[in-house]
Amino acid sequence: MLDFNALNASLVYPEDILHWAENAYHERLAVVTSFQITGIVTLHMMRELGLKVDVLTVDTELLFPETYDLMNRLQDTLKFNLIPVKAELNVSQQAAKYGDTLWSRDPDSCCQMRKVVPLDKALVGYDAWITGLRRDQSKTRSTIQAISWDKRNEKVKISPLVDWTEEMVWTYIHAYDLPYNPLHDKGYPTIGCWPCTQAVSDGGDLRAGRWVGTAKTECGIHL
Ligand code: SF4
């Protein structure tokens, strides 16, 4: 088992963490991103560093059109190997089996079927995965470490920009003129599936627009 305390103490900068991860895991390393702002910075840094690893994205088939468009633009710009991860049932099949709009009645089950289980299955082929988690995103993420053990998947989980702020991420995106989701400019700090994502008022919690009206704060991938 890795000495996570020692690693986290010695690897401070995202570029160093990414280099370490690629050296340690090579083709057994994947980036998992939903093309939020931190993921975009991570993908750009990896290209600048010449690091090539698979890029997994969970496509629930319920993403905003703007997200699909961004995905294509980033792939054209950054030239990564994109692997869409999909649920066993498409949305129509899910509706036939569990009823329409499961997300409004039982979002935990919907996320489990459309996000958590498909990603867990996709990660079987890897030993480590890179995420875009940051401590400033929510209370539930305020104590995460850059390099940690993902107990559910039994893999190393790496969050290179864990201690960056939202402002730092935006500064990077604008400095390199990187494409980003236009919904951010319409009041959406984070963007998931369209049925479960709303715009928030200025100054609101970064994840306040997700699963509004429920106690749910995470899809389950990062629990
Ligand atoms: Fe279903 Fe909403 Fe979860 Fe997407 S975010 S998988 S629509 S519950």
Q: For residue 161, give the CATH number of its domain.
A: 3.40.50.620
Q: How far is it, in rounded angstroms, from Cα 18 to Cα 129?
A: 11
Task: Look at residue 203 in the predicted model and tell me its pLDDT.
Answer: 63
| 179 CA to centre of ligand 1 in angstroms | 25
Query: Is position 135 within any domain?
Result: yes
Q: How confident is the prediction along the chain (223 residues), in pLDDT tens digits per residue? A: 899 999 999 999 999 999 999 999 999 999 999 999 999 999 999 999 999 999 999 999 999 999 999 999 999 999 999 999 999 999 999 999 999 999 999 999 999 999 999 999 999 999 999 999 999 987 888 899 999 999 999 999 999 999 999 999 999 999 999 999 999 999 998 899 999 998 887 666 777 778 787 878 878 888 7
| 107 CA to centre of ligand 1 in angstroms | 6
Is 155 strand, coil or helix?
strand
Query: Is position 214 within any domain?
Result: no
Query: Is position 202 within any domain?
Result: no
Task: Look at residue 170 in the predicted model and tell me its pLDDT.
Answer: 97
Residue pair 158/123 in contact by the 8 Å Cβ criterion: no
User: Which residue range is the domain that position 136 belongs to?
Assistant: 4-185
Query: Is position 16 within any domain?
Result: yes
Query: Is position 222 within any domain?
Result: no
Query: Is position 217 within any domain?
Result: no
Query: Is position 57 within any domain?
Result: yes
Cβ(196) – ligand 1 distance below 6 Å = yes
Q: What letter represents residue 135's amino acid? A: R
| 127 CA to centre of ligand 1 in angstroms | 26
Q: Does the active-site annotation cover 111?
A: no
Task: Look at residue 156 in the predicted model and tell me its pLDDT.
Answer: 98
Number of structural domains found in the chain: 1
Rg over CA atoms, the chain: 17
Query: Is position 212 within any domain?
Result: no
Cβ(220) – ligand 1 distance below 6 Å = no
